[in-house]
């Protein structure tokens, strides 16, 4: 709930109290029983830590959290790489001139915009100390929500260190899965999507057609002509799947198409399993029953289908996201 796993909370409690793991777990169980099981184990562990005077959040304020665990209201740190600098802007604070600078950072879990209000921090951006590719260690940033996006705001209470010792590289999540300039995937309602838009949609597979196959190049998937790819002499022809399905996001329905490995991802099966249905179409029935009704995020482009005179969704990615978080956002 606060971004810490149960085991991490237990070890923090043990560090500060010398209690054995069994004792801590027993006390957590007792706490839960007392609250009639209304709190999770993590929740009970947090309550216990508070009672014992153990500040379990201290380390994540300093060492930081994965970006996808940031929640508005937290006062935490992150360790991430700068992927994009925005402008430093001047504004009036009372009758004083003030500056605000911001940049986008990423780690292997997500992207988040960092907004700096302290002139000492902004100076690091102006001097070039903070630039694209710089690894930054932020301590004590305030996580806020702005227009539905998560941001981390830094004030004089925060600390930002560039290229911290002992950290050589930070892997950054692929931006193709994220809405540009934001810390998270932006979900678009199908009813708001126009032809030509690249969008991510969260929807239910309400209809699924048997996959079709064509002879395509093993390198690029292009249809082969007389057994050869026009672009890849070394490519061998293989069965390339095309999957059509109908997606409904609660606002609108749309016909969707996925090729190759995207088709496997839509179905949640291995490429080789999908390819086996080329020779064994009956085998698909079982997969179909499992997949109908599943909900996922689909990213791709809204095209116009001339033949059907309607919009069609060309799926280019099925990003793995924690859909419970998306659901929570729809509910709130």
Interacting residues toward Zn ion by CB under 5 A = 217, 219-220, 222, 229, 231-232, 235
Give 213's strand partners: 241
Give 99's strand partners: 90
Q: Nearest distance from residue 261's CB to Zn ion, in Å?
A: 15
Q: Nearest distance from residue 256's CB to Zn ion, in Å?
A: 24
Contacts of 96 (CB under 8 A, 6+ apart): none
- Closest CB to Zn ion among residues 150, 262: 262
- Closest CB to Zn ion among residues 20, 231: 231
- Closest CB to Zn ion among residues 172, 224: 224
Q: Nearest distance from residue 294's CB to Zn ion, in Å?
A: 32
CA 83, CA 170: separation in Å to the nearest integer? 11
Q: Nearest distance from residue 259's CB to Zn ion, in Å?
A: 13
Q: Nearest distance from residue 68's CB to Zn ion, in Å?
A: 36
Note whether 258 and 243 are within 8 A (CB). Answer: yes
Angle subtended at Cα 164 by Cα 163 and Cα 165, rounded to the nearest 5 degrees: 115
The residue among 133, 277, 309, 135 whose CA lies nearest residue 211 is: 277
Backbone angles phi, psi at 51, to 5 degrees: -65, -35
- Closest CB to Zn ion among residues 34, 228: 228
């Amino acid at each position: 709930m606060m971004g810490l796993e149960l085991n991490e909370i237990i070890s923090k409690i043990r560090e500060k109290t010398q209690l054995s793991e069994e004792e801590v777990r027993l006390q957590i169980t007792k706490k839960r029983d007392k609250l009639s099981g209304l709190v999770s184990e993590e929740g009970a562990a947090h309550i216990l830590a508070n009672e014992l005077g153990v500040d379990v959040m201290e380390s994540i304020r300093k060492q930081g959290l994965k970006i996808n665990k940031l929640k508005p209201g937290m006062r935490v740190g992150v360790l991430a790489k700068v992927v994009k600098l925005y402008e430093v802007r001047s504004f009036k604070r009372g009758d004083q001139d003030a500056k605000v600078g911001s940049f986008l950072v990423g780690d292997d879990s997500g992207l988040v915009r960092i907004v700096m209000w302290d002139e000492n921090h902004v100076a690091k951006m102006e001097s070039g100390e903070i630039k694209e590719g710089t690894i930054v260690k932020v301590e004590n940033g305030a996580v806020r929500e702005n227009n539905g996006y998560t941001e981390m705001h830094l004030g004089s209470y925060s600390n930002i260190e560039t290229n911290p010792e002992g950290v050589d590289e930070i892997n950054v999540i692929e931006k193709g899965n994220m809405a540009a300039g934001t810390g998270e995937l932006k979900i678009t309602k199908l009813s708001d999507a126009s032809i030509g838009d690249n969008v991510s949609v969260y929807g239910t597979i309400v209809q699924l057609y048997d996959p079709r196959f064509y002879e395509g190049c093993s390198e690029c998937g292009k249809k082969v002509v007389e057994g050869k790819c026009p672009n890849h002499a070394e490519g061998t022809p293989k069965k390339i799947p095309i999957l059509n399905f109908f997606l409904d996001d609660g606002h609108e329905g749309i016909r969707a198409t996925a090729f190759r490995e995207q088709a496997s991802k839509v179905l949640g099966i291995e490429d080789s399993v999908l390819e086996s249905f080329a020779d064994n179409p009956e085998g698909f029935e079982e997969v179909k029953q499992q997949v109908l009704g599943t909900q996922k995020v689909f990213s791709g482009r809204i095209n116009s289908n001339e033949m059907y005179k309607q919009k069609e969704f060309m799926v280019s990615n099925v990003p793995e996201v924690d859909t419970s978080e998306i659901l929570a956002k729809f509910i709130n």
